Amino acid sequence: MKKEMSFGVAMIPLIVMIVMMAITVVWLEQGPHIPLIVGTSAAAIVAWSSGYKWNEIEESMYKGIRLALPAVVIIILVGMTIGAWMGGGIVATMIYYGLEILTPSFFLVSISVICAVVSLAIGSSWSTMGTIGVAGMGIGLSMGIPAPMIAGAIISGSYFGDKMSPLSDTTNLASGLTGTDLFVHIRHMLYTTIPGFIIALVIYAFLGKDFGKGDMNAENIEQTMRVLQDSFVISPFLLIIPLIVIILVAKKVPAIPALIIGVLLGFLSQIFIQGGNMADAIAALQSGFVIDTGNNMVDKLFNGGGLDSMMYTVSMTIVAMTFGGILENTGMLQAIVKQILKFAKTSRSVVASTVLSCFATNVTCSEQYISIVIPSRMYVKAYRDKGLHSKNLSRALEDGGTLTSVFVPWNTCGVFILATLGVHAFDYAPYAILNFIIPVISIIYAMTGFTITKLTEAEIQNIKKEEEATLPV
């Protein structure tokens, strides 16, 4: 017979996982996979001892994995896109013209705004980072800007667009799960997102003012551009390929077919424009593009991509979702959130608790989708009971869930960024300014009551009627 999970019992797998993470990731500087597997084993033992049968525990893991399968496909396609666009000279062309147009002192602001615009148009931070972001890393490194700063600016811009785009999956997920109109949800997020992005851009402008001084940057940029011209066919026509992908997604073509078209165009570019052979083009898709220019920085930039480069991320995603699946489907997460709600006595504290719970779910369950799904289910009744409009909940879910996922090295977002941009979460964290300033703004709003919208009497009555209609006769 299944026992209801108590808070103490539900915390056991989380404590085991967090201790293992501290030892393995922080102290031993190893990957997060094994600690998550140990945590999953602990969760399975706790569930079994609470009356769950093994087939139910196993199905819980599969449910978690199924939730992440669309992300797994996109991860694989992004790896192939990077390999194809490296080999096809598309990334080289973007870097070359970027070096001509952008200035070192204003680069961090520029790349953040560019990523924001692209992500707003296509609704995907991952696709933006895997394409424009990769080129941005190359441009910034060529200018002598530290990689963590570049990655932070790219992440901030990418997540601004992802958060505010009506095409974004997390934006639609947060509004859909809370029963909030999509555009009401987006308008309510403006109160936290716009101030957060302005603060980020001001800080990037301040950080960038020290770059571009002296002749070293100019010399490095000129040398990089010469190597690119010698190694690739540079043509403005190659810029049409990323533009096609952006337009396709903006026209609501799903991300997967749009990325497949991008991969195919990059593959053809490597053969017919760069003069490569089919074997090398296929190898770029599988194991990544390989080049030896004699320039260490250029070689480091362009040797990479491919399906194989994303297998670490794919395995991480699967392992993380087995852990999250057991926690969600055996009542452990519900027991933890139920305890948290005991301390959220006021309407203001429940909003702040939502933001913090979303971050905690990112840390423990390693997946931003779960950080939206679980708190939305747990808090929706509390918001209604306290007379709060659902748009407060939908905004808090995004402020605390979508944005903070990048700060957890074992979260699928942190692992994806490491694989794509080559920077560890602990390194870029201080510079992903938008991602940590918005949760702070959201909590300040919650504590002061600013922009926290109450339900009208008519809305309360409508909710009561809906609830009565669902009751059994």
- Rounded to whole angstroms, the Cα distance separating 191 from 189 reads 5
AA letter at 218? A
Residue 304 contacts residue 86 (beta carbons within 8 Å): yes
E strand or H helix at 448? helix 433-448
How many angstroms separate the CA atoms of 312 and 304, rounded? 14
Are 46 and 9 in contact by the 8 Å Cβ rule? The answer is yes
Beta strands in 36-105 (DSSP E): none
Can you tell me the distance from the alpha carbon of 327 to that of 146, in angstroms, rounded to the nearest whole number? 39
pLDDT of residue 167: 66
Could you tell me how many residues make up the chain?
Answer: 473
What confidence tens digit (pLDDT) does each residue in 225-235 have?
Answer: 899 999 999 99
* Phi and psi angles of residue 454, each rounded to the nearest 5 degrees, phi first: -90, 155
Residues of the chain with pLDDT under 50: 214-216, 470-473
Measure CA 215 to chain center. Answer: 37
**Neighbouring-strand partners of residue 289:** 304
d(CA 308, CA 403): 27
The token duo for 231 is 């190694």
Which pLDDT value is given to residue 278? 95
Dist. CA 202–CA 111, nearest whole Å: 13
pLDDT of residue 473: 44
What radius of gyration do the chain's Cα atoms show? 23
pLDDT digits (tens, 9 = 90+) for 53-108: 999 999 999 988 887 787 788 878 888 988 999 999 998 898 888 888 888 889 99
Residue 215 is predicted with a pLDDT of: 47
